[in-house]
Structure 1
Amino acid sequence: MTENKDQNNNPFSKGKNGNNLLKSPKFNAYWIYGLIAVAFIALNLLNIGQNPKETSWQTVKNKMIKNQDVERIVVVRNLLEVNVYLKSESLDKYPDLFESSFDSPSKSGPHYTFPIGSIEQFANQLESAQSNISDLNRIEPEYTTQQNYFSDFLGWILPFALIIGIWFYVFRRMSKGSGGSGGAGNIFNVGKSKAKVFDKESNININFKDVAGLAEAKEEVEEIVEFLKHPQRYTKLGGKIPKGALLVGPPGTGKTLLAKAVAGEANVPFFSMSGSDFVEMFVGVGASRVRDLFKQAKEKSPCIVFIDEIDAIGRARGKNPNMGSNDERENTLNQLLTEMDGFDTNSGVIILAATNRADILDRALMRAGRFDRQIHVELPDLNERREIFEVHLRPLKLDPKIDPAFLAKQTPGFSGADIANVCNESALIAARRKKDLIEKQDFLDAIDRIVGGLEKKNKIISVDEKKTIAFHEAGHATISWLLEYAHPLVKVTIVPRGKALGAAWYLPEERSITTKEQMLDEMCSTLGGRAAEELTFEKISTGAQNDLEKVTKQAIAMVSIFGMSDKIGNVSYYDSTGQSDYSFSKPYSEKTAELIDKEVKILIDASYKRAKQVLLENKEGHRKLAELLLEREVIFSEDLEAIFGKRKFGSPKLEEEIKQIPKKEESKEENDTESKAV
């Protein structure tokens, strides 16, 4: 095996048929070019065949000219040197010419050479040296210019060759990066589309069975597949097949996955491209790629064109004018709009696009006739999360007790990508603990880590700070337990996670609408931490910064968006489309702005006063809860029930689900370590 390998790597070895690989067409041409270049340099540097001996003018004058052994003297103007040619019968007088067989001169010469300072000076010296020689035997110097091809190459050709080589290398790399149909090594293909083409032979393994939840969105895209498979069913009644569909929704909800499922189900060519792939540093490249993309799509129709993150080129025009300069993004968008109007509805080309920022898209892009359908892909609800868990749990080795429905209830507000992350993180946690199966506690720890961040057990916190944190978190927990519409508590911890020094976990009820009373209870519960600090220590800290930010935003929304203020009335100053024609930032007067500020402050102050009142009425329970939290660092809903009694409000079913959550046992060794670190 070693001999064969060496033989294959040797370009001078014989091939299978006994032929020399130098004669094979597979022989690398760069070897030949390299040998030619080496030979050229060697000929010029070594000057083979023309190797006169170095001498001096004194030797030539006192010996060669005096003895009349010189046949010719040639002055090389450009090199300022003199070549001396001896008579053939006089060569034997100079044995130093025959010291080496390699250096042996030809009979024709030149035989000796020596440098000179200037041509005029040498002419005078030669005339003086031959003053005693007759005119018949006197040697007249010959003047010539010797061409040095190597110097010419280095001085003139090489710089241009280097510039051309660098230019070719840079644009070859750029063309390689362009991918797609542009092809590598051709700069003129930079305007070609970079779309990845998936056809029937591409083996796309994703179909609608792999897309969990998203029932309504899946139904819409399934109909798009039917348009391509059976267009006559829809066109025989005079209807027109939609040109495009826009997938709109938050990040991680499965928009790209839906598009891949369409490609797997439709069994037609599928062009996939990102919006940022259209825009390059060259002017006009984006529009050129749009034209090339639609040209390829028409040639392979029926097909689907998918543009991910279309907001990269579809941003509303005219929002930020560039002082009259050429805007490549707008040119690309204009070409996209033109192309979408330019092909026939029955051409079999359907455009799919995805974005999570539909509010900034240009109106012309959203109108009927271009993207006829807008498919909203929202965050999954409880049942959809259960379906998504079932998909992601398939490849995992699970404890038989794991229930996807239970996990779905622990992850309200999670997207599909978040759920995939939970499953992966739980597997890593179980492997870190050297388990053979993934258990329920591993999933709960994974959820805690994703929501709250990495647990920091060795963070140094003083005793006073720890006490403040405990009473702060106990204030949140107390009020959430006692108010009707506050979210039921799952657990509270004062172990730092991420940037938070303490955290509380709640299991909110999923609502389609929220009432004013529910929002006020949530605000009161959020302000419970700051209220607990003031009542207990008669001073406040920066620990409530996140709570205040949340409450302020919620109060502003209640007053200026949801119309929940009596003085402001049923008015909403929110533009849900994001494409307001007004040039000013606030669609209300300064007087109204002042009124909004007052109403926001009234709401927050009322909630804060209410929070302090609830804590004063349950002062002893709040103190016991904080002390228990200081002692154990983590408490659960059962601990609150033991202190305050059974919760009077909320869904009994939801309360029962909270009790099913397993409680992680903290070992005494872990608690001792944490106490020392504090």
Structure 2
Amino acid sequence: MSKENNQNTTPKKPRFSSWWVYGVILVLIIGFQIFGSSAFSSTQEITTSELYEFLRNGDIDKINIIKNRGQAKIFLTESAKGKDVHKGVSDKPIIPSTGANPQYILTYGELEIFENNINEIKTNNSLDTDVKFDTESSLFTDLLVSLLPFALIIGIWIYLMRRMSGGAGGGAGGQIFNIGKSRAKLFDEKTDTRTSFKDVAGLEGAKEEVQEIVEFLKNPDKYTSLGGKIPKGALLVGPPGTGKTLLAKAVAGEAKVPFFSLSGSDFVEMFVGVGASRVRDLFKQAKDKSPAIIFIDEIDAIGRARGKNNFTGSNDERENTLNQLLTEMDGFGTNTNVIVLAATNRADVLDKALMRAGRFDRQIYVDLPDIRERKEIFEVHLRPIKTAETLDLDFLARQTPGFSGADIANVCNEAALIAARKEKKAVSKQDFLDAVDRIVGGLEKKNKIITPEEKKTIAFHEAGHATVSWMLEHAAPLVKVTIVPRGQSLGAAWYLPEERLIVRPEQMLDEMCATMGGRAAEKVIFNKISTGALSDLEKVTKQARAMVTIYGLNDELGNVTYYDSSGQGEYGFTKPYSEETAQKIDEEISKIIEQQYQRAIKLLDKNKDKLSELAERLLEKEVIFKDDLEKIFGKRPFEKDNEPTQVNGAETKTEAQVEEDKA
């Protein structure tokens, strides 16, 4: 066997710890207190009857009564020590003591009775035994009583400081004296799970940007030879769940350089100056290991614009931390071999000094994935999923408009859970459709108690949505309608919205009209309205307000917008328009909504019989699909050739696709 193998098989000796010494001392102290000095002497314990017998025989020279302990120490005369009855107690103690060592000790009961019995024996036998009363105190006990409160206070203080500084264990930030140390985690390729750019689907533009940053660090001469400079930092901006942190993980896995990762909240502490100290320590560690990458997630925790919330005028610890970060990123003596990556979904609130070139040279916008990118994301997340058939990823991508990468990962996981709940051996397409319904609409509640009248109202409400959207050109194509309660909704009409980059007024108005179709159907059929249109009213009100105040699509107000893209308006106490304009805005919003409501009523009045037929079928089946509407209304006149269709949860091809397949 080789020497190397011998070293591997040799059991590791336990590491010495100072806590062992403290433990041994504590055990010795406790043992000494429990057993007392009798453990190290020849003193024996006797009963009161034996004491009285020894006293009558004249063997006792002195009795010390310790009142505070309820004990008596008995000292024999020199002549009595030689008697056989006292053999063994007259020996010298195991550990020599400077004080007198008693031969016997006893614990008495009532002091007065004990004292009277001794005095009576002394009188009857004419003894001159010395009886003394004394009190004893232990030095250790006195020290313990006096020092214990201070020790408890100091211990509690140290415990709280450790908790506030990030844990009771060792390491940077763990001890009270290391509270100003950086709490960044250094990525370890050997132990940490490695993520590569292959695991990041979609995000082609953002991926190219961060790949180039990795290339900067691997081959800096390629760029600096032409006079270029390596960028100081890159800011990943985008909605939640779009893959900003995933991109950073891929950089950590691909960069082959030290990678420090931490959150913006790791700099925040209750102590003054700690945040700035941690920033200094973080960049010091990164410079020592340069070239290196620092990744700060949720940087808006410390990067918020300065001077906006400091109403008190006092020292702001967060601003001090930000100032130190600005200095480290682009100040005197800045090391260019450290690149800072940061991520946030609140770029509008960041300080302008943080966003300028020279600090974050690149701002990479990570947007929600389009239909092509959603297909690629599905391919990544379907790798570990055991599917029952070859899934049409184009169909799944069309079924999930507006979903982020995190949402798609949740769909795949939820589909697997649904299949397992149904005791299936593999995941099918229907499980994915159910997962989308579960995530968008909520948990299905078939056992919800609904009266027949309420169920009929819900059916006509949802049928109204379906009818109006079928009749309007720019309304989103319908997928299915259901009156099965999900989450907080009692019914739902599911659409497949067209992914547009720009939206025209007629498209917004058609969508608003379709949204008001539910309440309009209640008015047409029952001549009554209900509270079931709350979410519809909320949606159309937001759309109408956006048309008037943001996009400038209203003729009365003209081409003006009151939208502040910088986000600074939220800190103000005044509106950017006058009271007269505010009144006009309210009137125009109400006018737009009322026009679309009346438009929906007219459409439903013309198709009242078809609306009733659709509602009756909905009451019968509870869930109806696009083909059910085609049987009642005929082919939708505005349908495009490339629109997906769905029958009972399965996709059917359009006529154009069928002809293309034949060719």
Output the TM-score relative to the length of structure 2.
0.84
Query: Aligned partners of 2:165, 2:498: CA distance in 1, in Å?
Result: 54
Q: What letter corresponds to residue 40 of structure 1 in structure 2? A: F
Q: Give SS of 2:79's match.
A: helix
Deviations 1:413-436 (A, max 9, x none): 010011111111112222233333
Query: Aligned partners of 2:275, 2:253: CA distance in 1, in Å?
Result: 28
Spell out the pairing of 1:253-268 with structure 2 (5 A cutoff). Answer: 253-268=242-257
CA gap of 1:536–1:68, structure 2 versus 1, over 3 A, is closer
Q: Are residue 33 (structure 1) and residue 25 (structure 2) matched?
A: yes
Query: Aligned partners of 1:368, 1:410: CA distance in 2, in Å?
Result: 40
Spell out the pairing of 1:358-369 with structure 2 (5 A cutoff). Answer: 358-369=347-358
Q: Are residue 557 (structure 1) and residue 546 (structure 2) matched?
A: yes
Q: Which residue of 1 aligns with 2:3?
A: none
Deviations 1:186-208 (A, max 9, x none): 32112211111114545653121
Q: Which residue of 2 aligns with 1:323?
A: 312
Query: Aligned partners of 1:397, 1:467: CA distance in 2, in Å?
Result: 41
Query: Aligned partners of 1:415, 1:178: CA distance in 2, in Å?
Result: 38
CA gap of 1:115–1:94, structure 2 versus 1, over 3 A, is farther
Q: What letter corresponds to residue 417 of structure 2 in structure 1? A: L
Q: What letter corresponds to residue 234 of structure 2 in structure 1? A: A
Offset, 1:455: 1.3
Q: Are residue 632 (structure 1) and residue 621 (structure 2) matched?
A: yes
Counterpart of 1:334 (choices 319, 323, 344) is 323
Offset, 1:104: 9.5
Q: Does the 8 Å contact 1:380/1:413 carry over to 2?
A: yes
Q: Does the 8 Å contact 1:180/1:194 carry over to 2?
A: no
Q: Does the 8 Å contact 2:470/2:478 carry over to 1?
A: yes
Output the TM-score relative to the length of structure 1.
0.83
Q: Which residue of 2 aligns with 1:670?
A: none
Q: Give SS of 2:480's match.
A: strand
Q: Which residue of 1 aligns with 2:435?
A: 446
Deviations 1:494-552 (A, max 9, x none): 11111110011111111000000000000000000001101111111110000000000
Query: Aligned partners of 1:333, 1:36: CA distance in 2, in Å?
Result: 53
Q: Which residue of 2 aligns with 1:534?
A: 523
Q: Which residue of 2 aligns with 1:151?
A: 141
Where in structure 2 are there 5+ consecutive unaligned residues? Answer: 1-9, 94-99, 652-663
Spell out the pairing of 1:491-510 with structure 2 (5 A cutoff). Answer: 491-510=480-499
Query: Aligned partners of 1:28, 1:82: CA distance in 2, in Å?
Result: 38
Q: Which residue of 1 aligns with 2:576?
A: 587
Where in structure 1 are there 5+ consecutive unaligned residues? Answer: 1-15, 665-678
CA gap of 1:245–1:138, structure 2 versus 1, over 3 A, is same
Query: Aligned partners of 1:404, 1:644: CA distance in 2, in Å?
Result: 30
Q: Does the 8 Å contact 2:549/2:585 carry over to 1?
A: yes
Offset, 1:644: 1.3
Q: Does the 8 Å contact 1:304/1:349 carry over to 2?
A: yes
Q: What letter corresponds to residue 564 of structure 2 in structure 1? A: D
CA gap of 1:79–1:644, structure 2 versus 1, over 3 A, is closer
Offset, 1:25: 10
Query: Aligned partners of 1:70, 1:597: CA distance in 2, in Å?
Result: 109
Deviations 1:255-311 (A, max 9, x none): 001111112222111111011122133333222211111111111111110011111
Query: Aligned partners of 1:436, 1:147: CA distance in 2, in Å?
Result: 77
Number of matched pairs: 630
Query: Aligned partners of 1:598, 1:176: CA distance in 2, in Å?
Result: 55
Query: Aligned partners of 1:38, 1:442: CA distance in 2, in Å?
Result: 66
Spell out the pairing of 1:250-399 with structure 2 (5 A cutoff). Answer: 250-321=239-310, 323-342=312-331, 347-399=336-388
CA gap of 1:384–1:179, structure 2 versus 1, over 3 A, is farther
Q: Which residue of 2 aligns with 1:44?
A: 36
Q: Does the 8 Å contact 2:517/2:600 carry over to 1?
A: yes
Offset, 1:328: 2.8
Offset, 1:319: 2.2
Q: Are residue 222 (structure 1) and residue 211 (structure 2) matched?
A: yes
Offset, 1:93: 9.4
Spell out the pairing of 1:573-612 with structure 2 (5 A cutoff). Answer: 573-580=562-569, 583-612=572-601
CA gap of 1:175–1:520, structure 2 versus 1, over 3 A, is closer
Query: Aligned partners of 2:17, 2:394: CA distance in 1, in Å?
Result: 66
CA gap of 1:663–1:387, structure 2 versus 1, over 3 A, is closer
CA gap of 1:91–1:103, structure 2 versus 1, over 3 A, is closer
Q: Does the 8 Å contact 1:490/1:636 carry over to 2?
A: yes
Offset, 1:600: 0.5
Q: Are residue 478 (structure 1) and residue 478 (structure 2) matched?
A: no
Offset, 1:485: 0.4
Query: Aligned partners of 1:389, 1:322: CA distance in 2, in Å?
Result: 48
Identity of aligned residues (%): 61
Q: Give SS of 1:228's match.
A: helix
Q: Does the 8 Å contact 2:627/2:647 carry over to 1?
A: no
Q: Which residue of 2 aligns with 1:426?
A: 415
Q: Does the 8 Å contact 2:47/2:107 carry over to 1?
A: yes
Q: Give SS of 2:568's match.
A: coil
Spell out the pairing of 1:55-94 with structure 2 (5 A cutoff). Answer: 71=61, 85-90=75-80
Deviations 1:45-92 (A, max 9, x none): 757544576769x979xx969x98765576879879886644322568
Offset, 1:358: 1.2
Q: Does the 8 Å contact 1:485/1:650 carry over to 2?
A: no
Query: Aligned partners of 2:106, 2:243: CA distance in 1, in Å?
Result: 84
Deviations 1:645-676 (A, max 9, x none): 1111132211xx21477459xxxxxxxxxxxx
Q: Does the 8 Å contact 2:522/2:528 carry over to 1?
A: yes
Q: Give SS of 2:410's match.
A: helix
Query: Aligned partners of 1:448, 1:114: CA distance in 2, in Å?
Result: 81
CA gap of 1:111–1:641, structure 2 versus 1, over 3 A, is closer
Offset, 1:238: 2.9
CA gap of 1:43–1:396, structure 2 versus 1, over 3 A, is closer
Structure 1 stretch displaced more, 167-176 or 573-582: 167-176
Deviations 1:314-366 (A, max 9, x none): 22222222523443322222222222123656631111111111112222221
Q: Are residue 489 (structure 1) and residue 471 (structure 2) matched?
A: no
CA gap of 1:605–1:79, structure 2 versus 1, over 3 A, is closer
Spell out the pairing of 1:395-410 with structure 2 (5 A cutoff). Answer: 395-410=384-399
CA gap of 1:232–1:367, structure 2 versus 1, over 3 A, is same
Q: Which residue of 2 aligns with 1:457?
A: 446
Q: Are residue 239 (structure 1) and residue 228 (structure 2) matched?
A: yes
CA gap of 1:152–1:453, structure 2 versus 1, over 3 A, is same
Structure 1 stretch displaced more, 304-313 or 83-92: 83-92
Offset, 1:174: 5.8
Query: Aligned partners of 1:312, 1:573: CA distance in 2, in Å?
Result: 27
Offset, 1:115: 8.9
Deviations 1:589-628 (A, max 9, x none): 1111001001101101111111101111111111111111
Q: Does the 8 Å contact 2:514/2:600 carry over to 1?
A: yes
Deviations 1:229-258 (A, max 9, x none): 222222233332221111111111000011
Spell out the pairing of 1:77-156 with structure 2 (5 A cutoff). Answer: 85-90=75-80, 109=102, 146-156=136-146
Q: Give SS of 2:449's match.
A: coil
Q: What letter corresponds to residue 358 of structure 2 in structure 1? A: G
CA gap of 1:52–1:267, structure 2 versus 1, over 3 A, is closer
Spell out the pairing of 1:662-677 with structure 2 (5 A cutoff). Answer: 662-663=649-650
Query: Aligned partners of 2:17, 2:273: CA distance in 1, in Å?
Result: 41
